[in-house]
């Protein structure tokens, strides 16, 4: 009687089957350093494209079964403790941070930080976009959720966006094409924002400075400042305020492990320093459950949750 031993070859690292690029591949990099919560596991691979052509080459030549996800500034993101398998794309090279100004518009690369927009508004006397400067993160992340505050949303000021799809094809779309609505859109999962063009209004430096300062003071007085948070946790149900529902339901002082509800604004969850992603997500789900029990209203996460549980 003969016995055969099956020889099993160890699984090749993902990086070995990815196309050669001019950008950078980073293996097993901690995503906690790329999110405002400061929690979460590793990215199996993080890919930072050199430019649009490099990204298109990658998308056209990567194996079809490799999962992809795109992250921006990490300000509205909760990465689970098990990390993200596959490839995480981050448009963090100088090519995706370019800005150009025209008559009545400004075009910003997807990797350009919202907070850096203010110097261009002041220098060129461009009004109408002050609200964007107070939204954490990068420009590319503002479209999919139709980010907004102080009575304005991206859909109100967006003229067009350049996107690239999962097959590496580039096209231009408008806000109408994307069906932008309150904190949501019809943005396909395999699309990646490359740049956005916003319409602007003539304004003086004094007018722009005044609005920027008003927004800054409002946030500092009413929202957690210099703390590990990801902004508003839940969307406002139609005609209602999420924070009022949370407070009414007795959730304002809740905590789980190192995660707690902010004392300044109860629709913000805080990593007090040693929270895990599991702590934060568990706390959020507990709030949803309690609000539902008390008000018969189901809150919906505004924070994007990615990755696998550990």
Measured between alpha carbons, how far is 142 from 58 in angstroms, rounded to an integer? Answer: 24
Average pLDDT, the chain: 94
Q: What is the pLDDT of residues 236-275, one digit of tens each?
A: 999 999 999 999 999 999 999 999 999 999 999 999 999 9
Assign 107 a pLDDT band (cuts: 50, 70, 90).
very high
The burial class, CB within 10 Å (0-12 / 13-18 / 19+), for 176 is exposed
Residues in the chain: 310
Confirm if 136 and 213 have CB atoms less than 8 A apart.
no
Catalytic residue among 183, 195, 249, 281: 183
Identify the H or E element spanning 185.
Answer: none
Identify the H or E element spanning 116.
Answer: none
Distance of CA 306 to the CA centre of its chain: 11
Q: Which of 1-5, 197-201, 233-237 has the lowest mean pLDDT?
A: 1-5
Q: What is the pLDDT of residues 53-74, one digit of tens each?
A: 999 999 999 999 999 999 999 9
Confirm if 192 and 89 have CB atoms less than 8 A apart.
yes
Catalytic residue among 142, 232, 249, 281: 232
Q: How much is the pLDDT for 12?
A: 66
Map out the domains of the chain with their CATH numbers. 14-90 (3.30.43.10), 98-207 (3.30.465.10), 225-306 (3.90.78.10)
Q: Six-digit token pair at 179?
A: 């069906």
Per-residue pLDDT, averaged over 91-114, amounts to 97
Q: Does the pLDDT value for residue 130 go beyond 80?
A: yes
Q: Among positive and negative, which fits the CA dihedral 118, 122, 128, 131? A: positive
Task: Quickly count: other Cβ atoms within 10 Å of residue 152's Cβ.
Answer: 15
302 catalytic residue (yes or no)? yes
130 catalytic residue (yes or no)? no
Confirm if 106 and 129 have CB atoms less than 8 A apart.
yes
Q: Six-digit token pair at 64?
A: 């079809």
Give the pairing type, strands 152-153 and 255-256: unpaired
Q: Does the pLDDT value for residue 113 go beyond 70?
A: yes
What's the longest Cα–Cα distance across the chain? 91
Measured between alpha carbons, how far is 306 from 78 in angstroms, rounded to an integer? Answer: 6
Q: Provide the whole-model pTM.
A: 0.92
3-class SS of residue 128: coil
Confirm if 39 and 78 have CB atoms less than 8 A apart.
yes
Q: What is the pLDDT of residues 278-292, one digit of tens each?
A: 999 999 999 999 999
DSSP 146: T
262 catalytic residue (yes or no)? no
Assign 1 a pLDDT band (cuts: 50, 70, 90).
very low
Q: What is the pLDDT of residues 188-224, one digit of tens each?
A: 989 999 999 999 999 999 999 999 999 999 999 999 9
Q: Does the pLDDT value for residue 2 go beyond 90?
A: no
- Reduced DSSP (H G I as helix, E B as strand, rest coil) percent helix, strand, coil of the chain, to 5: 30, 30, 40
Q: Which of 302, 281, 263 is nearest to 39 (CA)?
A: 281
């Amino acid at each position: 009687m003969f016995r055969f031993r099956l020889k099993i070859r160890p699984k090749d690292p993902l990086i070995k089957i990815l196309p050669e690029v001019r950008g950078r591949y980073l293996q097993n990099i901690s995503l906690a350093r790329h999110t405002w919560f400061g929690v979460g596991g590793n990215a199996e691979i993080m890919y930072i494209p050199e430019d649009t052509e490099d990204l298109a080459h990658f998308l056209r030549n990567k194996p079809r079964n490799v999962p992809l996800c795109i992250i921006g500034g990490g300000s509205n993101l909760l990465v689970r403790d098990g990390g993200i398998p596959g490839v995480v794309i981050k448009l963090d090279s100088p090519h995706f941070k370019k800005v150009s100004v025209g008559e009545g518009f400004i075009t910003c690369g997807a990797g350009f930080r919202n907070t850096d927009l203010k110097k261009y508004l002041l220098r060129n006397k461009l009004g109408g976009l002050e609200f964007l400067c107070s939204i954490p993160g990068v420009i590319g992340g503002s479209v999919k959720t139709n980010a907004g505050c102080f009575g304005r949303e991206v859909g109100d000021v967006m003229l067009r966006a350049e996107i690239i799809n999962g097959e590496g094809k580039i096209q231009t779309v408008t806000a109408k094409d994307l069906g932008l609505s309150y904190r949501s859109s019809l943005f396909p999962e395999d699309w990646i924002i490359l740049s956005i063009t916003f319409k602007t209004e003539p304004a003086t430096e004094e007018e722009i400075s005044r609005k920027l300062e008003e927004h800054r003071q409002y946030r500092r007085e009413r929202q957690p400042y210099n703390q590990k948070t990801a902004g508003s946790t839940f969307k406002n149900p139609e005609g209602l305020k999420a924070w009022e529902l949370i407070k009414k339901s007795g959730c304002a002082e809740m905590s789980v492990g190192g995660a707690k509800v902010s004392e300044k604004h109860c629709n913000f969850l805080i990593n007090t320093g040693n929270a895990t992603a599991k702590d934060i997500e568990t706390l959020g789900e507990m709030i949803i459950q309690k609000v539902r029990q008390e008000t018969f209203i189901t809150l919906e996460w505004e924070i994007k949750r990615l990755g696998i549980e550990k």
